[in-house]
């Protein structure tokens, strides 16, 4: 492990974000081309290396506790990293790196790229902070860093679409964070602590009726962040209006971070395994409504947004079942969802880059023009629909089996039907974009440029690898699942470890 790796993982993108405008000015003065892009890619690659350096220790069963300023918990703010934190950090760093490489070409026609890369790195810093911190107020602050940068990035192009989407996103999401803040205030009033481990320990001795209100505030606030139906209205707008690279980052990494916060707060902080069944029920509603709404969409990015909502439903279902297999399946699906959802948004971006629209009514017959992109889209669509031998099949299968084992066969049946719906709307998308009649003006559309193709291909390879060798993926998520089930270990590691 690199020494001070936990704090480095947060500080690296944070400082780089504020260096970015300086680098932008320098590169214009000196006439160095693309200095910002290379710098940003170098930063996220370093970030990935820092996170990866923590892998051996955490997978060996250790909980890394890093005390900021040397203050002991529960007084000081600390970073606590167990298997779950690290899985999320890994997804954030990995997806961040790939989307940054993708932005290199995708964003080249935009102006104001200094701000784009600054905000991008701030989002990465915020997500990394949420993923690694062991302090509930710190989690709130990093959430806000992430969210404020996201509002600005959704509005980045300042067209009417982006402004409308950003305002909706901001008002709904700020309401959510206010709920989280109120929940934190109530918890602080109740037991007088902010450290997650210390809070968890002290809340165990408080009567359950006192924690219902804060728990409800947290679940609602975080539910808005991860767009659980019926709190999902902002998400399709935001994903449709944001630049595709940003939408790819949101759907892959930000959604993951939101689910992490939900799991950490509900299971570790409140120890409320009993409300898991409520999460599972919410997950069911979310997946069915998300899939039904996706069927009716005409815009590819909007369709992908609804499908993202639907996939989050699967994750919540698996995690909510609360069994070993369920949580493993849910987290594995979270991991897989980050892979193929990012990839599909990147493909949507590639189509917009070449054609200029993602409205499926105006597209058609692009297979002849973009055969590689079309093949990759098929891989992504099959993976997300849970068709073997792709990764979506492996994780969905685990969730189905977990549903039956937990004595909820109805859940499994609904999940299966939703899978069929998923396949249906992706076939519709495939048909109207890549097959069928090609409008005349699309006849000289070219293939996706290689620097954009590279991250998409890498993700497609991952889809196949984790589909053929699901054991590999399960090995990656097992430490996370053990961490979810073993909140006592987390608490004693944070409070007992000097």
Candidate ranges 88-96, 165-173, 265-273, 311-319; the one touching other proteins (CB under 8 A): 165-173
**Whole-angstrom Cα distance, residue 299 to residue 94?**
27
* Residue 163 binds other proteins (CB under 8 A): yes
* Residue 216 binds other proteins (CB under 8 A): no
**Whole-angstrom Cα distance, residue 312 to residue 340?**
13
* Residue 148 binds other proteins (CB under 8 A): yes
Candidate ranges 153-161, 277-285, 349-357, 459-467; the one touching other proteins (CB under 8 A): 153-161
**Whole-angstrom Cα distance, residue 350 to residue 257?**
25
* Residue 137 binds other proteins (CB under 8 A): yes
**Whole-angstrom Cα distance, residue 37 to residue 387?**
37
Burial letters 251-260, b for 16+ CB under 10 A, else e:
bbbbbbbbbb
- Report whether 101 contacts 451 (CB < 8 A): yes
Nearer to other proteins (CB atom), residue 236 or residue 479: 236
HSE (side-chain half, CA atoms, 13 Å) at 192:
0
Report the nearest approach of other proteins to the CB of residue 194 (Å). 7
Binding mask 176-195 for other proteins (x = CB under 8 A): --x--xx-xx--xx----x-
Nearer to other proteins (CB atom), residue 234 or residue 425: 234
Report the nearest approach of other proteins to the CB of residue 192 (Å). 8
* Residue 292 binds other proteins (CB under 8 A): no
Nearer to other proteins (CB atom), residue 233 or residue 281: 233
- Report whether 106 contacts 120 (CB < 8 A): no
Q: Which of 170, 253, 287, 476 binds other proteins (CB under 8 A)?
A: 170
- Pinpoint the alpha helices (H) of 60-109: 83-106
Nearer to other proteins (CB atom), residue 1 or residue 181: 181
Report the nearest approach of other proteins to the CB of residue 138 (Å). 10
* Residue 22 binds other proteins (CB under 8 A): no
* Residue 114 binds other proteins (CB under 8 A): no
* Residue 144 binds other proteins (CB under 8 A): yes
Candidate ranges 5-13, 122-130, 155-163, 270-278; the one touching other proteins (CB under 8 A): 155-163
Neighbours of 361 (CB within 10 A): 10
**Whole-angstrom Cα distance, residue 362 to residue 436?**
12
* Residue 70 binds other proteins (CB under 8 A): no
**Whole-angstrom Cα distance, residue 391 to residue 383?**
6
Candidate ranges 161-169, 255-263, 362-370, 412-420; the one touching other proteins (CB under 8 A): 161-169
**Whole-angstrom Cα distance, residue 337 to residue 340?**
5
Nearer to other proteins (CB atom), residue 156 or residue 411: 156
* Residue 133 binds other proteins (CB under 8 A): no
Report the nearest approach of other proteins to the CB of residue 86 (Å). 27
- Report whether 83 contacts 59 (CB < 8 A): yes
CA distances from 66 to 3, 8, 71, 135 (A): 10, 11, 10, 12
Nearer to other proteins (CB atom), residue 104 or residue 250: 250
Residue with tokens 């707008």: 237
DSSP letter at 206 equals S
Q: Which of 43, 88, 101, 165 binds other proteins (CB under 8 A)?
A: 165
Q: Which of 164, 173, 168, 167 is nearest to 145 (CA)?
A: 173
Q: Which two tokens stand for residue 309?
A: 């909502």
* Residue 152 binds other proteins (CB under 8 A): yes
Binding site for other proteins (CB under 8 A): 137, 141, 144, 148, 151-152, 155, 158-161, 163-168, 170-171, 174-175, 178, 181-182, 184-185, 188-189, 194, 237, 240-241
């Amino acid at each position: 492990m690199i020494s001070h790796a936990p704090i480095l993982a947060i500080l690296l993108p944070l400082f780089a974000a504020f260096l970015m405008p300086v680098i932008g000015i320098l590169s214009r003065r000196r006439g160095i081309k693309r200095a910002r892009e290379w710098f940003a890619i170098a930063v996220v690659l370093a970030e990935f290396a820092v996170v990866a350096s923590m892998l051996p220790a955490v997978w060996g069963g250790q909980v890394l506790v890093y005390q900021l300023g040397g203050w002991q918990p529960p007084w000081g703010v600390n970073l606590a990293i167990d298997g779950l934190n690290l899985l999320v950090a890994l997804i954030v760093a990995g997806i961040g790196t790939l989307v940054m490489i993708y932005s290199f070409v995708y964003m080249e026609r935009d102006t104001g790229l200094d701000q784009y890369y600054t905000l991008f790195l701030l989002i990465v810093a915020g997500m990394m902070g949420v993923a690694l911190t062991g302090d509930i107020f710190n989690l709130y602050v990093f959430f806000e860093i992430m969210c404020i940068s996201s509002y600005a990035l959704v509005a980045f192009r300042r067209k009417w679409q982006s402004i409308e989407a950003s305002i909706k996103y901001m008002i709904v999401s700020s309401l959510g964070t206010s709920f989280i803040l109120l929940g934190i205030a109530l918890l602080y009033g109740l037991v007088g602590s902010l450290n997650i481990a210390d809070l968890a320990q002290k809340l165990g001795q408080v009567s359950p009726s006192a924690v219902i209100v804060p728990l409800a505030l947290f679940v609602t606030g975080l539910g808005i962040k991860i767009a659980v139906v019926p709190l999902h209205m902002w998400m399709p707008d935001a994903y449709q209006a944001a630049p595709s690279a940003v939408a790819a980052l949101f759907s892959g990494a930000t959604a993951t971070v939101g689910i992490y916060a939900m799991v950490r707060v509900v299971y570790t902080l409140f120890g409320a395994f009993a409300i898991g069944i409520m999460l599972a029920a919410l997950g069911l509603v979310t997946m069915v409504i998300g899939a039904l709404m996706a069927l009716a969409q005409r815009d590819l990015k909007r369709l992908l947004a609804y499908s993202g909502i639907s996939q989050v439903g699967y994750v919540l279902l698996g995690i909510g079942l609360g069994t070993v297999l369920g949580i493993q399946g849910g987290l594995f699906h979270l991991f897989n969802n980050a892979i193929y959802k990012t990839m599909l948004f990147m493909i949507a971006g590639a189509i917009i880059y070449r054609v200029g629209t993602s409205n499926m009514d105006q597209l058609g017959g692009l297979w002849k023009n973009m055969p590689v992109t079309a093949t990759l889209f098929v891989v992504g669509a099959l993976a997300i629909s849970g068709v073997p031998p792709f990764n979506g099949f492996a994780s969905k299968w685990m969730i189905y089996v977990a549903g039956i084992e937990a004595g909820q066969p109805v859940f499994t049946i609904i999940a299966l039907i939703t899978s069929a719906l998923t396949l249906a709307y992706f076939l519709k998308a495939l048909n109207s974009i890549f097959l069928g009649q090609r409008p005349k003006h699309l006849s000289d559309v070219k293939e996706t440029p290689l620097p954009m193709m590279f991250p998409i291909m890498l993700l497609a390879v991952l889809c196949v690898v984790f589909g053929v060798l699901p054991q590999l993926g399960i090995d990656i998520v097992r430490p996370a699942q053990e961490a979810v089930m073993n909140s006592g270990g987390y608490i004693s590691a944070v409070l007992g470890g000097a």
